[in-house]
């Protein structure tokens, strides 16, 4: 028999559906909330409510924002001609944290996955094309993940972007920093060698 009152077991069940949380961590979080001061729990609940009410996607790049246009698209210091295409906002944040990209982004909100019924219409591909009409795009950096679906999406975009006047580049594949050649898989090694650069 479930030892918890219904409200508590319901919360544990809902928390354990969140990514990365199993039943044990969900129970620990629920117990923590139960012991926390009222104001902290109310503030968290209000934050979750506001998240759904106030966060939307940028009308240009589909990054998350509270405004019609996100802070990156609204930043006059960014290189507006260079667009880095990513699968999701988490990828955008990772690239932003690297500080290596000074242009704008385009968040696809997914990747092509025909077996799951996700085709070009289900992700933000036509919106990327629409940007060629309103922006002067000089380079498209394809930064989808090096997974089979990310690769297929990059190849699809490369094919249909051929007719546009922008340079299309793909992020490099290689050995991670701190990595070890003898433990690196064959495909990564092969691509790292093919993508070698003058030192
Ligand atoms: Zn934006």
Q: What is the pLDDT of residues 53-69, one digit of tens each?
A: 999 999 999 999 999 99
Distance 183 CA to ligand 1 centre (A): 39
Cα 11 to Cα 176: distance, rounded to the nearest angstrom: 39
pLDDT for the residue 1: 60
Q: Does domain 6-39 have CATH number 3.30.750.24?
A: no
Distance 60 CA to ligand 1 centre (A): 5
Q: Is the pLDDT of residue 177 over 90?
A: no
Distance 45 CA to ligand 1 centre (A): 27
What percent of the chain is modeled with pLDDT above 70? 99
pLDDT digits (tens, 9 = 90+) for 125-135: 999 999 998 99
Rounded to an integer, the average pLDDT of 76-91 is 96
CA-closest candidate to residue 124, choices 143, 110, 104, 144: 110
* Assigned architecture for domain 77-181+187-192: 3-Layer(aba) Sandwich (3.40)
Residue spans of the domains in the chain: they are 6-39, 77-181+187-192
- What is the DSSP track for 105-141? EEE-SS--BGGGTB-GGGTTHHHHHHHHHHS---EEE
pTM of the model: 0.82
Q: Is the pLDDT of residue 10 over 90?
A: yes
Q: Would you tell me how many other CB atoms lie within 10 Å of the CB of residue 103?
A: 17
Distance 167 CA to ligand 1 centre (A): 21
């Amino acid at each position: 028999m479930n030892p918890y009152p219904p409200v508590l077991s319901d919360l544990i069940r809902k928390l354990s559906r969140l990514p990365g949380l199993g039943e044990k961590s969900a129970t620990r979080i629920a117990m923590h909330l139960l012991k926390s001061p009222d104001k902290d729990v109310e503030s968290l609940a209000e934050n979750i409510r506001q998240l759904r009410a106030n966060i939307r996607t940028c009308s240009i790049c589909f990054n998350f924002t509270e405004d019609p246009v996100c802070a990156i698209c609204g930043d006059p210091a960014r290189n507006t001609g260079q667009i880095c295409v990513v699968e999701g906002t988490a990828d955008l944040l990772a690239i932003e944290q690297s500080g290596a990209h000074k242009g704008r982004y385009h968040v696809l909100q997914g990747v092509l996955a025909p077996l799951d019924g996700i085709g070009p219409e289900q992700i933000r591909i036509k919106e990327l094309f629409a940007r060629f009409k309103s922006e002067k795009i000089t380079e498209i950096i394809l930064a989808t993940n090096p997974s089979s679906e990310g690769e297929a999406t990059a190849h699809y975009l490369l094919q249909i972007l051929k007719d546009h006047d922008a340079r299309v580049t793909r992020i490099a594949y290689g050995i991670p920093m701190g990595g070890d050649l003898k433990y690196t898989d064959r495909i990564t090694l092969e691509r790292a060698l093919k993508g070698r650069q003058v030192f």
